[in-house]
Amino acid sequence: MTHYILVHGAWEGPWSWDYTTPALERTGHIVTAINLHGGDGKGHNVTNVTMESYVETVVNAINPLDHKVTLVGHSMAGAVISQVAEQIPEKIEKLIYVAGFLLKSGDSVMEAMKRDPDGEFLPELIFSEDQSSAKASEQTWRNKAFHDVREKRILEALPLVDVAQAAEPFLAEISVSEERFGSIPKVYIRTAIDKMVSPKLQDEMLQNWKVDQVHVLQSGHFPILSVPEALAELLD
C-alpha cells in the first residue's frame, strides 16, 4: 500500500484529481489531494500566493505523517514537489511528474515555458494590468488544454479554471540540490499530444535529472481528465 500525495497544477484545485483518486483507492492505496489555494478549492485569491506558500502547504501536509509518501505533481506542481523533496527528502519515497516541470536549480516555470518551441498556451494568456496574475479564455482552454477531454468534463472544469492565477509561482526560481532532491527516485509521465507543455519541452526537462522510469500517455496536458484510469494504472 502506498500513500499518494497528489498536487494540482496552476488554475486547478484538488477537484482535478477527482477521476484519478477513486481508481487508485480501488487498488488499496491511500490518496490525499492537496489544495494549494485553501478554502473549498473552487476558485482562489491570488493575494500573497507564492511558490514558497505552495511548497509550505505541501510540506505541512506531509510532515505530521509517520510514513513516507509518493508525491505526484501535475504541470506547474512539478516545480512544487521538487522543492518539497529538497526540504524533506526523508519523507519522500518517490516523485512522479505528470507532464510536470522538472527543472534545474535556478530555472523557473515561466522561463521553461518561454523556451518551449511548440507551447501554445503561454502566448494566449491574458495578464492583469500589473502583471501579477493571468487568465485564459474559454477558447484557449478548449483548444490548447482540453482538446482531448470529453465535453461533459470540459463543462465541469471550465467554471473552475475561470480564475486568475498568481504569476509569482511561475516566475520564482527553484532551488534544489543533487544531495537532497537528486537522491530521490523519479518517474516521468509524458503526455504525447500536449499543447501546454509540449513533448519537446518534456524531453528537454528529462535531461535535467536522472529519471528512473519514463512512461507515455497518448493525451493532452490533462490526462487527469481525459484518461484518468490509464493515468492511475501508471501511478500504480
190-211 confidence digits (pLDDT tens) = 999 999 999 999 999 999 999 9
Give me 191's grid cell: 503526455
Please check whether the domain covering 3-235 is classified as CATH 3.30.360.10.
no
Determine which one of 16, 75, 133, 198 is catalytic.
Answer: 75
Q: State the pLDDT at residue 45.
A: 58
Return d(Cα 172, Cα 64) in angstroms, integer: 27
Q: Is 75 annotated as catalytic?
A: yes
Q: State the pLDDT at residue 236.
A: 87
21-50 pLDDT, tens per residue? 999 999 999 999 999 986 544 445 566 789
